[in-house]
Amino acid sequence: MGWRRERVDLKTREQVRVMRRAGLVVADIHRAIRAAVRPGMTTADLDAVARDVIAGAGATSNFLGYHGFPAAICTSVNDEVIHGIPGARMLQAGDVVSVDAGAVVEGWHGDAAATFILGVDGALPLGSPDADTGDDALVRATEAAMWAGIAALAQRGRLGDVGRAVETAIDVAASGTGIVLGIVEEYVGHGIGTAMHQPPDVLNYATSSRGIPLRAGMCLAVEPMVTRGSGQTRELADGWTVVTADGVRAAHWEHSIAILEDGISVLTAPDAGAERLGALGVDVVVLD
């Protein structure tokens, strides 16, 4: 019996440049939220910050109205993994807060997520002595795993190399810190372009298949979701919010990346990923 894969759209360099503009709006959303957040704010307050940034940039939200989603960002707190709906929930010092944000410029999408731990005066830097040690290790491990997955794209091998790199990084972090870390497998990264979600799926774990070859023109979102437990999840009755099945805390990191003829560029990172990828021996293409 024959079968076929879903088609993966390849983007031109000029199309990627427009995606970079959308990516920088997303970076500005994250920067503005991190600068504004304080204990006592609600997750709806963070959504208002995001809406102001999007409007000020002349962009539009790709989250608002997506399959009926009612907000411009997802705010997932503590045991919430992804797709948390902003609302009346008041943030407290010690919360682990994941923000997933997106924007559209001239029909092209950007999408990125980041997790921070909230301190008494705002978002704490990673490695802060004021953060819970286990929560800090979780957030740092998830971010490092994302960058390991992104670095795998630069090798121009196969798509499955991303998931293998992510899983290896999480295994190393768990061994080094002694905390239990579980990769969420039900939700994965994706292609991105004229829609927020396009083929192919980008797994965060290794499988027996190496996947399709990586080619210039592919634009992909690498987004590991990791918990301090089993990695198993369940969806709440609101039809959106995904929480850990065992009640432990979770982290979520994501960037949108373009594979170009002359290298890769992280479209949602202000420096195109130069600092973090440079530390991994990967040069980036700067489009602006």
Beta carbons within 8 Å of 269's beta carbon, 6+ residues apart: 23, 27, 112, 255, 276
Over residues 166-205, the pLDDT tens digits come to 999 999 999 999 999 999 999 999 999 999 999 999 999 9
Residue 286 lies in a domain: no
For the record, the structure tokens of 53 come out as 């940034």
Helix 43-56 to helix 13-36 angle, to the nearest 10 degrees? 140
Over residues 120-153, the pLDDT tens digits come to 999 999 999 999 999 999 999 999 999 999 999 9
Compute the average pLDDT of residues 233-253: 98
Please give the torsion angle defined by the CA atoms of residues 34, 37, 39 and 42, in that order, rounded to the nearest 10 degrees.
-130
Compute the average pLDDT of residues 74-86: 98
Name the maximum alpha-carbon separation found in the chain: 61
Q: How far apart are CA 55 and CA 285, in angstroms?
A: 28
Over residues 246-271, the pLDDT tens digits come to 999 999 999 999 999 999 999 999 99
Residue 78 lies in a domain: yes
Compute the average pLDDT of residues 3-22: 89
- The residue range of the domain holding 156 is 13-278
Omega of the bond leading into 200 within 30 degrees of 0 (cis): yes
Beta carbons within 8 Å of 8's beta carbon, 6+ residues apart: 191, 198, 199, 200, 212, 215, 218
Residue 213 lies in a domain: yes
Per-residue pLDDT at 5: 60
pTM over 0.95: yes
Residue 8 lies in a domain: no
Domain tally for the chain?
1
- Residue whose C-alpha is closest to residue 263's, from 279, 280, 285, 278: 285
Residue 6 lies in a domain: no
- Confidence class of residue 6 from pLDDT cuts 50, 70 and 90? confident
For the record, the structure tokens of 48 come out as 């208002």
Look at strands 263-266 and 182-183 and give their pairing: unpaired
The CATH number of residue 239's host domain is 3.90.230.10
- Confidence class of residue 26 from pLDDT cuts 50, 70 and 90? very high
Does 163 have pLDDT greater than 60? yes
